[in-house]
Structure 1
Amino acid sequence: MRKIALGSRGEAAQPDCIKALVVEFVTTFLFVFAGVGSAMAADSLVGNTLVGLFMVAMAHALVVAVMISAGHISGGHLNPAVTLGLLFGGHITLFRSFLYWIDQLLASSAACFLLNYLTGGLGTPVHTLANGVGYTQGIIWEIILTFSLLFTVYATIVDPKKGSIDGLGPLLTGFVVGANILAGGAFSGASMNPARSFGPALVSGVWTDHWVYWVGPLIGGGLAGFIYENFFIDRSHVLIARDEEQ
């Protein structure tokens, strides 16, 4: 069973880490800008809820696929749940994970503040549970949706034995994000991403149900990373050393 690599504070000064943080900020910013922007446009321009949901799902699917590819230097996580899943698999150190989480939250906040300004103060839609959906149901929704996201990331991007789908990982990951929004968007909001939920909540000042979008995705992402790494992945590939000092 793979143990978590702790890393050290020295990582923050390494050129490759600094470059990765810059890229992670840029790609997360662009992801949230397009994702939240599509939700704002759907609220403003589309009267049909189903059409609006489809618009949001398609926008997220496309921008996730592109930003994962564009963010290859940092790994294109875009999401604290993805970072946690890769941490549990031994693919990133704990210290660098904390840096990524801060980076992702700052990028999401910056994107939402800019959207609020560019739209003349239009509200940023927040993730909240639908009427009739309780906390337990919402958490389970987010666990399952985020689990499917991380399982796809591992199967199509991380696993060195990808076979015929090699190179298609970002596109396939975008597909599953879009499908999950279509499936769960009307119930839990289908966040799958604490950073994606954090920015709109911060800008709007609406924190209703917000904790659900941390608990569910982090459990789902961490569980998927742990299960795939320990039961399905080919261990012939090299992971970072647990006691590596950087």
Structure 2
Amino acid sequence: MKKEFKSKAFWRAVLAELVGMTLFIFLSIGAAIGNPNNSNPDQEVKVSLAFGLSIATLAQCLGHISGAHLNPAVTLGMLASCQISVFKAVMYILAQMLGATVASGIVYGVRPAAIQALGVNSLNGITPSQGIGVELLATFQLVLCVIGTTDKRRRDVTGSAPLAIGLSVALGHLTAISFTGCGINPARSFGPAVIMGAFEDHWVYWVGPMCGGVAAALIYDFLLYPKFDDFPERMKVLVSGPDGDYDVNGPEDTPAVEMSSK
């Protein structure tokens, strides 16, 4: 923790998460509320593509700085996979929540007068337990895509990892948006809820995605494609981050490794 706290690269990574989340929420929420015809299927496709393409673009832009998590569920999945420290996970999630709130406030201030919505997620005729199941499975496939696509042990991935992750985000929205509005990103649900003061069933959009992210990381690491790291080494990463991630006395532009397995 001390090494990370003193590192300029660490704080640049936190800033990248803040900036990235601000842009992501502005672009995606703006697309979601820009058309009052929200009930038609074409709007669902538009919103899904906006979320997916914005994530793909920002992951390409910021991945080398912070790993471009841009989602507390992804960050928690990386923590469960022992790829980042607890301190980094906490700071990333705080930056993501702040960015989502700032962006939601901006959208609220510039939205047309005829539009009263701000993209607050809500359950559509289903119970909270059903909502948790939908969010858990939709997030599971996203985090599984992130961890599997960026696994450094693989030699068969020749395409674009950011594009694959963006398509996974779009797929999650196409599947879940009719049930829950799709809250696979808890910070995305948090920002509009804060601005509008609308927290009904809000806990669903944290419990489902966070459980889905952890489940994806653990199943991938221990069942689907096991890693054989020693337990002490994993604990060391949780406390101080991966070896060589930040060198206080050396270069401050080392490549980010948050979204890849060792």
Give the TM-score normalised by structure 1: 0.88
How far apart are residue 233 of structure 1 and its match?
A: 3.7
Q: Structure 2: how far apart are the matches of 1:104 and 1:39?
A: 19
Query: Does structure 1 residue 172 correspond to structure 2 residue 167?
Result: no
Counterparts of 1:235 and 1:33, CA distance in 2: 38
Give the Cα–Cα distance (whole angstroms) in 2 for the partners of residues 74 and 139 of structure 1: 29
Specify every segment of 5 or more residues in structure 2 that has no aligned partner in the other structure, as ranges. Answer: 242-262
* 2-structure distance, mates of 1:160, 1:235: 12
The aligned residue for residue 81 of structure 1 is 73
CA positional deviation for 1:164: 3.6
Partner secondary structure for residue 211 of structure 2 = helix
What is the distance in 1 between the residues matched to 2:186 and 2:101? 12
How many residues are treated as equivalent by the alignment?
A: 235
* Distance 1:37-1:136 versus aligned 2 partners, 3 A rule: same
8 Å CA contact retained: 1:124, 1:200: yes
Q: Which position in structure 1 is the counterpart of 2:61?
A: 70
CA contact (8 A) 2:142 2:168 kept: yes
Say if 2:103 is the partner of 1:111.
yes
Alpha carbons 2:220, 2:226 under 8 Å: kept: no
5 Å matches for 1:1-246? 8-42=1-35, 44=36, 46=37, 49-72=40-63, 73-119=65-111, 122-131=116-125, 133-157=126-150, 159-233=151-225, 235=227, 242-243=235-236, 245=240
Which one-letter code corresponds to 2:155 in the other structure?
A: G
AA of the residue aligned to 1:71 = L
Distance 2:19 2:92 in 1: 12
Contact 1:9 1:95 (C-alpha < 8 Å) held by counterparts: no
How many percent identity over aligned positions?
32
Q: Secondary structure at the match of 2:108?
A: helix
Q: Distance in 1 between matches of 2:163 and 2:221?
A: 21
* Structure 1 residue ranges (4+ consecutive) displaced by more than 6 angstroms after TM superposition: 236-240
1:151 offset after TM fit, Å? 0.5
Where 2:66 maps in the other structure, the secondary structure is: coil
In structure 1, list runs of 5 or more residues that go unmatched. Answer: 1-7
Paired residue secondary structure (1:163): coil
**Normalization by structure 2: what TM-score?**
0.83
Q: Which amino acid aligns with 2:120?
A: V
Root-mean-square deviation over aligned CA pairs: 2.2
